[in-house]
Amino acid sequence: MIELQNVSRSFTVGDQQVSALRDINLRMDAGEYISIMGPSGSGKSTMLNLLGLLDRPSSGTYLLDGGNVTDLTDEQQAQVRREKIGFVFQSFHLVPRLTAAQNVELPMILAGIAPEERKQRVEVLMQNYGLSARADHRPDQLSGGQRQRVAIARATVMKPTVLLADEPTGNLDRATGWEVLKLLEGLLEQGITLVVVTHDTEIGARAHRQIHMLDGAIRSDERHTT
Amino acid sequence: MKLTDTLQFASGSLRGSPTRTLLMILAMSIGVASVVVLTALGEGARRYVVDQFSSLGTNLVIVLPGRTETAGLGPGMLVGQIPKEITLDDAQAIMGSRAVKRIAPLTVGSATLSRDALNRDVVVLGSTSDLLEVRHMSIGVGKFLPAGDIHESASVCVLGNQMKQELFGNEQAVGQWVRLGDRRFRVIGVLSSQGESMGMRTDELVIIPVASAHQLFNTSGLFRVLIEAKNRDSIEQAKSDAEAIMFQRHAGEKDVTVITQDAVLATFDRILTALTMAVGGIAAISLAVAGVLIMNVMLIAVAQRVKEIGLLKALGAPPKQIRSLFFAEAALLSSIGSVAGLVLGYIGSTIIGQVYPSLPVSPPWWAVIAACGTALGTGILFSVWPARRAARLDPVAALAGR
């Protein structure tokens, strides 16, 4: 469960204060499928960074699973990211010198999980995502869809409660994009909270709850029961 | 994150850019190798000098006539005084000291050595049978000077190896007669070839009993008295005893100088050790340069891998972990560089050893440890800043590659 209370975020650009987010109040329940839409500069990326603890709000409070994570130290926030949050990026962000399997293994290495368990979990995930044959390939030997599947495997290997996807289909063709989206939606069955940031209305419309942003504020927040 | 994983990840990123890694290892290894080779040379020079000194004899104390004043002129010299000479009886009196094992009085002169029509100008040493032991000489054929009353002038001589060759060729020399100045001597022994020690070639010497030498050169004074102390600890005692005995016998006049071989040796030892350290220190500068290079390349690596660092942060790597990843990289680089440098250095020392066989070239252990320590130290020290910079990157900006 995520709760933002009166969250604002402003940047100093030159000698001007620019507000990226203005006084946001938002509540997301566990297992929800949410899309955040809006034009560039509307604050949706800033919102995602705040939700992922990559950025700190200028004011306001962020509660994750009932605990206040706003005032945690860098080390503590890193731990929260490691255990509770998964990221999927538009440009995949795979480490080029590591194989697909090693990329998936990376979060578990950082968490200090024993090698045997790491190997086992990677194998299961690669199997589930149809990547077994590609396990020893480096990212530049993979297609875009395969790369994003590797990235999703990496984001879910630590069994996070929240998955944040920033334009996950942005660098993919339509067909592959749909495939990737289906894969993400499949995670909802495991009770994950899925937040997708996109400016593609067709993709955004698939979410059960759609948030439209404009100028750093929430313009609409609609729920669909499809 | 486990230590083995950290090292593995770091070595992975080093392998990821092989050219950069190889160049850094090369810089580091040249630094270590130059320390090893240069200190090996210095240490070789030191050992060479020490060996030369100990070939003179062990636990030596040397008495020489006259007082050497460090301030220049001795007080006696102003009034034209000639220091009183050391006599054979003085030398024998020194044997009274408990700290003295044996003595060898020494008279030196030059004379013409001749056999039939062949003649040579030679350095003649007048001494006693104990000289053989005191100076660590060894006899090749026949016997050395006979023991007995040192005042007795026997007409016998011992030839250096080269003198024997020049006068007798391959003939038997022992038992033959030679002429030395205006006297005849019977050859009773030939020294085995020893080469040079401290500028005196024993191969070109002729040794006769000290009393015979006094008659031959018409003197009664000694050039030196070589004293061998009982052991290393009694060297100082032997020295002060010798001084006291000479002081007493010369009517309260301090007109001899007593030096110990150890004192001379220690001075050379200190000078050459200091030299070795200085040379090693200069070589260590190249290590510091290698350290700066590591810092520079690490900073570039941080800039190049901004996205990767951002990703690691997003995946939950705390700043501490990012820092230790970069430290591990630097430590790996420096240790591989150190090992490569040691190998290079030892190969270099061996080559120098082959080229100059008389120089005992081998790097001292302290230099090897210091070189590796400095390499590791600078490598890690100079990676502090890049590692901190990486750890402080803002994850959002880093992920965007800014």
Distances in Å between the Cα of A51 and the Cα atoms of A193, A195, A218, B400 are 12, 10, 15, 17
CA atoms within 13 A on the CB side of B268: 16
| Preferred mutation among A103, A109, A113, A167 to probe B, highest tally of B CBs within 10 A | A109
Phi, psi for A219 (deg, rounded to 5): -90, -40
Q: Does A75 touch chain B (CB under 8 A)?
A: yes
The pLDDT of residue B273: 86
Residue B232 DSSP code: G
Q: Is the pLDDT of residue B76 over 80?
A: no
Who wins on pLDDT, B293 or B394? B394
Strand pairing class (B183-191; B139-142): antiparallel
> By mean pLDDT, which of A5-14, A152-161, B259-268, B360-369 is the weakest?
B259-268
> By mean pLDDT, which of B34-48, B69-83, B350-364 is the weakest?
B69-83
Q: Which two tokens stand for residue B124?
A: 């003649």
Nearest CA in chain A to B319: A75
Would you place residue B169 in the very low, low, confident or very high pLDDT band (cuts 50, 70, 90)?
confident
Q: Which residues of B touch A107 (CB under 8 A)?
A: 315-316
Phi, psi for B174 (deg, rounded to 5): -65, 130
The pLDDT of residue A210: 94
Instruction: Kindly list the domain boundaries of chain B, sorted by start residue.
Output: 3-52+266-399, 84-254
Asked whether the beta carbons of B61 and B235 are under 8 A apart, the reply is yes
Phi, psi for A13 (deg, rounded to 5): -115, 115
Q: Which two tokens stand for residue B268?
A: 């050379």
**Euclidean distance between CA atoms B253 and B83, whole angstroms:** 10
For tokens 């951002």, what's the residue? Answer: B310
The pLDDT of residue B235: 86
**Euclidean distance between CA atoms B102 and B227, whole angstroms:** 6
Would you place residue B78 in the very low, low, confident or very high pLDDT band (cuts 50, 70, 90)?
low
Q: Does B12 touch chain A (CB under 8 A)?
A: yes
Nearest CA in chain A to B395: A54
The pLDDT of residue B202: 79
Who wins on pLDDT, B83 or A174? A174
Q: Is the pLDDT of residue B105 over 80?
A: yes
Q: Is the pLDDT of residue B199 over 60?
A: no
The pLDDT of residue B196: 60
- Taking residues A195-221, what's their average pLDDT? 92
Asked whether the beta carbons of A36 and A24 are under 8 A apart, the reply is no
Q: How high is the ipTM of this complex?
A: 0.92
CA B256 remoteness from chain centre: 29
Q: Percent of chain B having pLDDT more than 70?
A: 94
| Preferred mutation among A87, A90, A110, A157 to probe B, highest tally of B CBs within 10 A | A110
The pLDDT of residue B2: 83
Average predicted confidence (pLDDT) for chain A: 92
Q: Is the pLDDT of residue B73 over 80?
A: no
The answer to whether residue A10 is domain-embedded is: no
**What DSSP string describes B352-376?**
HHHHSTTS-----HHHHHHHHHHHH
Closest CA to B113 of B14, B205, B230, B226: B205
Residue A215 DSSP code: T
- Taking residues B328-346, what's their average pLDDT? 91
The answer to whether residue A44 is domain-embedded is: yes
**Euclidean distance between CA atoms B210 and A15, whole angstroms:** 102
Average predicted confidence (pLDDT) for chain B: 85
Q: Which residues of B touch A93 (CB under 8 A)?
A: 307, 310-311, 314, 399
Who wins on pLDDT, B315 or B45? B315
Q: Is the pLDDT of residue B71 over 80?
A: no
Q: Does A133 touch chain B (CB under 8 A)?
A: no
Q: Cβ–Cβ of A110/B317 closer than 8 Å?
A: yes
Judged by DSSP in three states, A18 sits in: strand
- The CATH number that applies at residue A113 is 3.40.50.300
The pLDDT of residue B367: 83
**Euclidean distance between CA atoms B292 and A122, whole angstroms:** 40
Q: Is the pLDDT of residue B74 over 60?
A: no
Would you place residue A219 in the very low, low, confident or very high pLDDT band (cuts 50, 70, 90)?
very high
The answer to whether residue A98 is domain-embedded is: yes
Q: Cβ–Cβ of A97/B15 closer than 8 Å?
A: yes
Q: Out of B308, B321, B396, whose CB is closest to A49?
A: B396
For B280-336, what is each residue's pLDDT tens digit?
888 888 888 888 888 888 888 888 889 999 999 999 999 999 999 999 988 898 899
Angle at B191 between CA B190 and CA B194, to 5 degrees: 150
Q: Cβ–Cβ of B319/A52 closer than 8 Å?
A: no
H/E run at residue B342: helix B319-355
Q: Does B324 touch chain A (CB under 8 A)?
A: no
Asked whether the beta carbons of B135 and B166 are under 8 A apart, the reply is no
The amino acid that residue A135 corresponds to is: A
The answer to whether residue A128 is domain-embedded is: yes
The pLDDT of residue A215: 92
Q: Out of A93, A110, A154, whose CB is closest to B321?
A: A110
> Left if phi > 0, otherwise alpha if psi is -120 to 50, otherwise beta: which for A196?
beta
The shortest C-alpha distance from A73 to chain B (Å) reads: 10
The amino acid that residue B59 corresponds to is: N
Q: Does A204 touch chain B (CB under 8 A)?
A: no
The pLDDT of residue A109: 93
Would you place residue A221 in the very low, low, confident or very high pLDDT band (cuts 50, 70, 90)?
very high
How many contacts (CB atoms, under 8 Å) link A and B? Answer: 69
- Taking residues B11-21, what's their average pLDDT? 88
**Euclidean distance between CA atoms A160 and A157, whole angstroms:** 8
For tokens 């009085």, what's the residue? Answer: B105
Strand pairing class (B205-209; B118-127): parallel
Asked whether the beta carbons of A34 and A209 are under 8 A apart, the reply is yes
CA B147 remoteness from chain centre: 35
CA atoms within 13 A on the CB side of B252: 0
Domain that holds residue A182: 28-54+74-223
Q: What is the 3-state secondary structure (H, E, C) of B287-323?
A: HHHHHHHHHHHHHHHHHHCHHHHHHHHHCCCCHHHHH
The shortest C-alpha distance from A78 to chain B (Å) reads: 4
Who wins on pLDDT, B247 or B79? B247
Would you place residue B200 in the very low, low, confident or very high pLDDT band (cuts 50, 70, 90)?
low
- Taking residues B85-94, what's their average pLDDT? 88
Would you place residue A87 in the very low, low, confident or very high pLDDT band (cuts 50, 70, 90)?
very high
